[in-house]
Amino acid sequence: MATIIDGKALAAKVRERAAAEVAELGGRGISCGLAVVLVGDDQASATYVRSKLRDCEQCGIRSFDYKLPAETSQEELMELIGRLNADEDVTGILVQMPLPAHLDTERVVAAIDPNKDVDGFHPMNMGRLVRGLEGLRPCTPAGIMEMLDEYEIDPAGKNAVIVGRSSIVGKPMAFMLLARNATISVAHSRTDPHELARICQSADILVAACGVPKMIKGPWVKPGATVIDVGMDRDEAGKLCGDVDFDSAELVAGAITPVPGGVGPMTRAMLMSNVVLAAKLQHGL
Ligand code: NDP
Half-sphere exposure of 159 (CA within 13 A, CB side): 13
Domain at 29-113: CATH architecture: 3-Layer(aba) Sandwich (3.40)
Kindly report the protein residue whose alpha carbon is nearest to atom 15 of ligand 1: 189
Q: Measured in angstroms, how far is the CA atom of residue 69 from the centroid of ligand 1?
A: 28
CA distance 79 to 121: 19
Give the nearest ligand 1 atom to 243 CA. 32
CA distance 120 to 138: 4
Q: Is 166 annotated as a binding residue?
A: yes
Domain ranges across the chain: 29-113, 139-263
pLDDT, position 15: 98
pLDDT, position 251: 98
Cα distances from 85 to residues 33, 35, 57, 168, 239, in angstroms, run 12, 10, 22, 22, 40
The per-residue pLDDT string of the chain (285 residues; one tens digit each, 9 = 90 and over) reads 899 999 999 999 999 999 999 999 999 999 999 999 999 999 999 999 999 999 999 999 999 999 999 999 999 999 999 999 999 999 999 999 999 999 999 999 999 999 999 999 999 999 999 999 999 999 999 999 999 999 999 999 999 999 999 999 999 999 999 999 999 999 999 999 999 999 999 999 999 999 999 999 999 999 999 999 999 999 999 999 999 999 999 999 999 999 999 999 999 999 999 999 999 999 999
pLDDT, position 160: 99
Pocket of ligand 1 (CB under 6 A): 140, 163-166, 168-170, 187-191, 209-212, 230-233, 263-264, 267
pLDDT, position 184: 98
Long-range pairs for 258-262 at CB < 8 Å and ≥24 separation? 258/4, 258/5, 258/7, 258/229, 259/229, 259/231, 259/232, 261/6, 261/7, 261/8, 262/5, 262/7, 262/147, 262/228, 262/229
CA distance 213 to 158: 26
Q: Which of 96, 113, 116, 158 is catalytic?
A: 96
For the question of whether the overall pTM of this predicted structure is more than 0.80, the answer is: yes
Q: Which of 55, 113, 119, 229 is catalytic?
A: 119
pLDDT, position 186: 98
Q: Is 239 a catalytic residue?
A: no
Q: Minimal CA–CA distance to 262: which of 219, 237, 230?
A: 230
- If one looks up domain 139-263 in CATH, what number appears? 3.40.50.720
CA distance 55 to 92: 14
pLDDT, position 1: 85
Residue 92 bridge partners (DSSP): 34
Query: Other C-beta atoms within 10 Å of 209: how many?
Result: 25
Q: Is 96 a catalytic residue?
A: yes
CATH topology identical between 29-113 and 139-263: yes
Q: Is 280 a catalytic residue?
A: no
Q: Measured in angstroms, how far is the CA atom of residue 211 from the centroid of ligand 1?
A: 4
Q: Measured in angstroms, how far is the CA atom of residue 165 from the centroid of ligand 1?
A: 7
Give the nearest ligand 1 atom to 188 CA. 21
Kindly report the protein residue whose alpha carbon is nearest to atom 8 of ligand 1: 164
Q: Measured in angstroms, how far is the CA atom of residue 173 from the centroid of ligand 1?
A: 12
